[in-house]
Amino acid sequence: MALHPIPINFGQIDPDKLIGRDRVLEICWTRLEQGSSLLVTGERRIGKSSIAQTLDARPRPDWIVVYLNVEAITSVEDLVRSLLAALQREQRIDRRAKKALGGLLDRVSGVSIAGTGVEVRQRTERAAYELLQELIEKTSESSKLLLILDELPILAQTLAKNSVDDALLLLRTLRSLRAAYPNHRQLLCGSIGFHHLLADATEIKAAVNDLFTIAVDALDPNSAAVLAQGLLLGIGREVALEDPIITAIVEATDGIPFYEHHLVAALEHQER
């Protein structure tokens, strides 16, 4: 790969600056095309979200891809609202589906029925799930729809604080939607695993065991070296791929891109 500077980045990465993930991206698309929904797993900070965001930023033709980080979402109503807003922004959705989504948006504002009783909450939740189903049905009518829910285990954990059944209902509903709509896929990932949700994880597993697992590893040594080289160039240090500093960075970080960014950031202001 041609040598080019890579800016140090601790936030969302520019897909053009993603190094060493072509193969895993290819596998994701192959499995999605074959009909699987995906569970993307891997150590903390290994690069799961960056892969998910790149699928969103570079969708294959015929696909509508929506990426949502659901970490801060606290209810199913909020989830539906955020999804609708994200879908409304999607260029690839045809006019008919956009119109239908507009109708759902009007309804979602009426979903939060005033009151705090259990019955009111259940009714609100039911209405939100109905909307979620309609939203997927309408959007996946004429195109393939990939919904990426990053940090879903955190949302499930938030729901589980009220009741574990609420978390299970969300996971089971998502599963039934995957099964019901042939044009619809999901990609689920997060910084914690689903097994953290419950002491007895059997039911959680049952709700996600239809997913094809994509295990994300550290970068291969060559890609890790290319990233180190690009990051160094980004801070004004041009070195060959074989330079000992590159070998040292790759070894010290185990090829985990996040740590490479950190290490090179530490070198940035060091006296030479």
Ligand X SMILES: Nc1ncnc2c1ncn2[C@@H]1O[C@H](COP(=O)(O)OP(=O)(O)OP(=O)(O)O)[C@@H](O)[C@H]1O
Which span (9-17, 60-68, 120-128, 154-162) binds ligand X, by CB under 6 A?
9-17
The window from 40-48, 63-71, 168-176, 178-186 that contacts ligand X (CB under 6 A) reads: 40-48
Continuous segment of H or E residues that includes residue 82: helix 76-89
Q: Is 178 in the site for ligand X (CB under 6 A)?
A: no
Instruction: Report d(CA 225, CA 228) in Å as an integer.
Output: 5
If binding is defined by CB under 6 A, does position 13 make contact with ligand X? yes
Q: Position of tokens 């799930």? A: 129
Which of 36, 37, 49, 143 touches ligand X (CB under 6 A)?
49
CB burial of 154-179 (b: ≥16 within 10 Å; e: otherwise) equals bbbbbbbeeebebbbbbbbbbbebbe
Tell me the window of 49-57, 74-82, 102-110, 122-130 that interacts with Mg ion (CB under 5 A).
49-57
| Token output for 88 | 């409304």
Which of 21, 81, 138, 184 lies at the binding interface for ligand X (CB under 6 A)? 21
Q: Does 249 bind ligand X (CB under 6 A)?
A: no
Does residue 19 belong to the site contacting ligand X (CB under 6 A)? yes
DSSP string for 151-189: THHHHHHHHHHH-HHHHHHHHHHHHHHHHH-TTEEEEEE
Instruction: Select 52 or 84, whichever has its Cβ closest to ligand X.
Output: 52
**CA–CA separation, 217 vs 43, rounded Å?**
8
Residue 255, classified by CB atoms within 10 Å of its CB into exposed (0-12), middle (13-18) or buried (19+), is buried
Among 5, 25, 29, 45, binds ligand X (CB under 6 A): 45
Using CB under 6 A as the criterion, which residues of the chain lie in contact with ligand X when the complex forms? Answer: 9-11, 13, 17-21, 42, 44-50, 191, 227, 257-258, 261
Using CB under 5 A as the criterion, which residues of the chain lie in contact with Mg ion when the complex forms? Answer: 48-49
